[in-house]
Amino acid sequence: DGGITQSPKYLFRKEGQNVTLSCEQNLNHDAMYWYRQDPGQGLRLIYYSQIVNDFQKGDIAEGYSVSREKKESFPLTVTSAQKNPTAFYLCASSDRDRYNEQFFGPGTRLTVL
């Protein structure tokens, strides 16, 4: 089955620790995205990548980093510089030139203790 997987589903971390969230897709999509969702709010774009080895900051990139070494994978690192990291993180992907048709993974819920 084609789709997007994110792991882990739930993640707990101590303050001051970096943590990496995984996102993998087998849809052969060129573009991948990371969003953050806080309670009662819409999704906000953290980073996106339209091609391997290239990525762009979204609206709330501070305290986050990404890499895009493979087409299938777009891991997100939440660093200790991110002031309020507790949130629901969603990864998405889309075909090149069909950026308006994004498919979402099941999300990772990160809680900082």
Our CB check for other proteins shows the closer of 70 and 96 to be 96
Q: Which of 56, 111, 58 is nearest to 84 (CA)?
A: 111
State the nearest-atom distance from the C-beta of 65 to other proteins, in Å.
18
Cα(85)–Cα(13) distance, integer angstroms: 10
Structure tokens given for 11: 């993640």
**Strands 108-112 and 87-94: what pairing?**
antiparallel
Our CB check for other proteins shows the closer of 16 and 40 to be 40
Our CB check for other proteins shows the closer of 36 and 112 to be 36
Contact yes or no for 88/34 (Cβ under 8 A): no
Stretch of 15-23, 62-70, 71-79, 87-95 contacting other proteins, by CB under 8 A: 87-95
CA distances from 89 to 96, 98, 100 (A): 23, 22, 19
**x-marked contacts with other proteins along 33-72 as a string, rule CB under 8 A:** --x----xxxxxx--x-x-----x-x--------------
State the nearest-atom distance from the C-beta of 62 to other proteins, in Å.
18
DSSP state of 83: S
Binding region for other proteins (CB under 8 A):
31, 35, 40-45, 48, 50, 56, 58, 88, 90, 94, 99-102, 104-107, 109
